[in-house]
Structure 1
Amino acid sequence: MGVDAGSSRPGQRVVCVTGSGTPLASSSWSETTDEVTGMFVTVVAVLCRLGASASGACVEEIVTDSNMTPEMSMMQCAIGAQAPLAKWMGEHPIYHANWRLERYKCVPGHYEIKGHA
């Protein structure tokens, strides 16, 4: 169904194909290491003050990314980011009182915090 990464020649792109013949778009070629690597993903938490209805009462914080958590993929972020979020919330006591996790987002690439959410 797909090409084995170990059998490819240097400079040859390896594409994984699903059983239906559809190529998977989640891998990209890394020219520095000659291997297939996953997309860089950043997990961003949006935290809002409790009881605040005014705009600007929410902030964004980077929870983790593919550098800090190498196994983080877009799929893993979408279905399994709750555990890293809970760990991050436990390690940042400033957000324990008067803040709630409004949402999180999985962002492809390096994310720059834009200030207030």
Structure 2
Amino acid sequence: MSTATRTAQVSVTYLAGEEHVVALRDHLVPTDRPQLDGGADVGPGPVELLVGSMAACTATTPVSRTRTQRPHGEVRDVMTGDVATVTPEKPVCHARDLPARHLHGAAGGLGQTCVEHA
């Protein structure tokens, strides 16, 4: 198993209104807010991107481990379900809008107090 450490440069550039672009390696990810929250909705909001990143990490880890630790294994279903329901009446604009139980795993060593006040 490799113990190599990789670092990645991440930058965020303001464009206009609520729009930003996040540069990750050779990828550009637009972020924005929904129109009801003053944005143009050209990309996911920062919290949506955070939650999506956590979901992708959770989904890819079992696949990666299965391939390296059990090369003949098979992953059929990784995860399903809603993290939060987002409606025009209840947009998710900030981490504090998400239930603490969904942030706990992502908060790592921050402790329960920080999660409850996120």
TM-score normalised by the chain length of structure 2: 0.26
Q: Pick the structure with more helix per residue.
A: 2
Bigger-Rg structure (1/2): 1
Name which structure has the greater RCO, CA cutoff 8 Å, separation 6+. Answer: 1
Q: Pick the structure with more strand per residue.
A: 1
TM-score normalised by the chain length of structure 1: 0.26
